[in-house]
Amino acid sequence: MLSANRTKEHYQLTKEDELLLKGLQPLMKQHRDGFSDDFYEFVMSYEETADFFADKERYDRHKLAIAGWFTRLFSGTYDEAYFRYLRHVGKIHVNINLDGHYVNTAMARVRQFITEIIQSQVPEEERGKISIAVGKLLDMNLDVLTSSYRQAELKKYFLSFRFESRLINWMERFTHGLSLILAFALAIVSLAVVGLFINDIVGIFGGSKIENGVIAALGSLLIIWMMIELLETEISHLKGRKIPIKIFVGVVLVAFIRKVLIGTFQHEQLLEYSSKVGTLFILGIVYWLITRADRGCCGCNWCCPRGRKKQPHGPRQGSPACGRQAPHIKYSSEDRSPLCRNFSCRTSSSRVR
């Protein structure tokens, strides 16, 4: 917060200006009541501010306060006490939720009122200097009054920012904790699945039909594979990598494969078994589509003929002719030949076409 002297220095309010303003005080005192009436006539013209002054007692109290501010405006003394007074007035405006727009419009009205008095009652040779001094003073008052609004906004913003930062940090830690719990739970379930597989192996030699035991063991192996995929995905997630959508589709796909395998020796009804097979077929298509979308075709001239079809008359970005390296291309250290890591491309990428 700037000191009084620093503020006056910025607005170039000199000692000469202060003397000119103090010399206006007798004249302005004569117009104090007229100023109060004019000011509140202007204020009451707005519905938002008129509602605040609906109480007669409040209206009279504020009318005396604005008259006191008007008189003090031409005291010629603008020290730290004066600036504390202005900041106090500004805080009152903030506390009563007065929109800063009305503070600015009211100050414009004050400027107009004072200018009319200067133009009509001050000698012409003095009007210029006095008008400039009054302009500096009113600008300085407006700056200090509206600074309370800026401080309130900054305080609100920084409190909100600190709260949001702490909340986000807490949620990130909580989410990381949940991920650790999930990884631990997956490890426990994996051990249980291994136990299920051992139980199926024992069942093969325990008197049940061998083919049923083998199918059940295959289903358990699929679940073990699924748990391995889930554990690896969760470990990658803990390291900051994204979880691919296809892993969830793969889990459901494996679960339905196991159901279909088990259903072959449980003699399920045809309709129920057919619905499982149909669901398995649809899941397979979805998994294939997701895998294809994840891989995608790079369309470069090194490895994909479709790239040349799309742009037959010129080199594509990333081709040897354009001189730029595509982000998916890995160059060997020996011959600098491009080695494409995009495995969805249909042709070999070990040589440049």
- List CB contacts of 188: < 8 A, sequence separation 6 or more: none
Residue 170 identity (one-letter amino acid) = W
* Span 11-38, pLDDT tens digits: 999 999 999 999 988 999 898 888 988 8
* Range picked from 80-84, 252-256, 314-318 for highest mean pLDDT: 80-84
Half-sphere exposure of 65 (CA within 13 A, CB side): 12
pLDDT at position 74 over 60: yes
Cross-strand partners of 48 = none
Residue 62 identity (one-letter amino acid) = H
* Span 262-271, pLDDT tens digits: 666 666 677 7
pLDDT at position 132 over 90: yes
Confidence of residue 196 (pLDDT cuts 50, 70, 90): confident
Residue of 263, 253, 261, 204 lying closest to 225 (CA atoms) = 253
Determine the 3-state secondary structure of 227 from DSSP: helix
- Confidence (pLDDT) at 114: 92
CA distance 88 to 200: 82
pLDDT at position 41 over 50: yes
Half-sphere exposure of 83 (CA within 13 A, CB side): 15
pLDDT at position 338 over 60: no
| Domains of the chain (ranges, CATH numbers) | 4-164 (1.10.490.10), 205-295 (no CATH), 300-353 (no CATH)
From 63-72, 77-86, 156-165, 183-192, the region with the lowest mean pLDDT: 156-165
Instruction: Find the helix or strand (DSSP H, E) in which 328 lies.
Output: none
**Three-state secondary structure of 57-71:** HHHHHHHHHHHHHHH
Per the model's pLDDT, the better-predicted residue between 182 and 242 turns out to be: 182
* Residue range 126-138: mean pLDDT, rounded: 91
pLDDT at position 53 over 60: yes
In terms of C-beta density within 10 A (0-12 exposed, 13-18 middle, 19 or more buried), how is residue 175 classed? exposed
Pair 329, 340: CB distance under 8 Å: yes
CA distance 258 to 262: 6
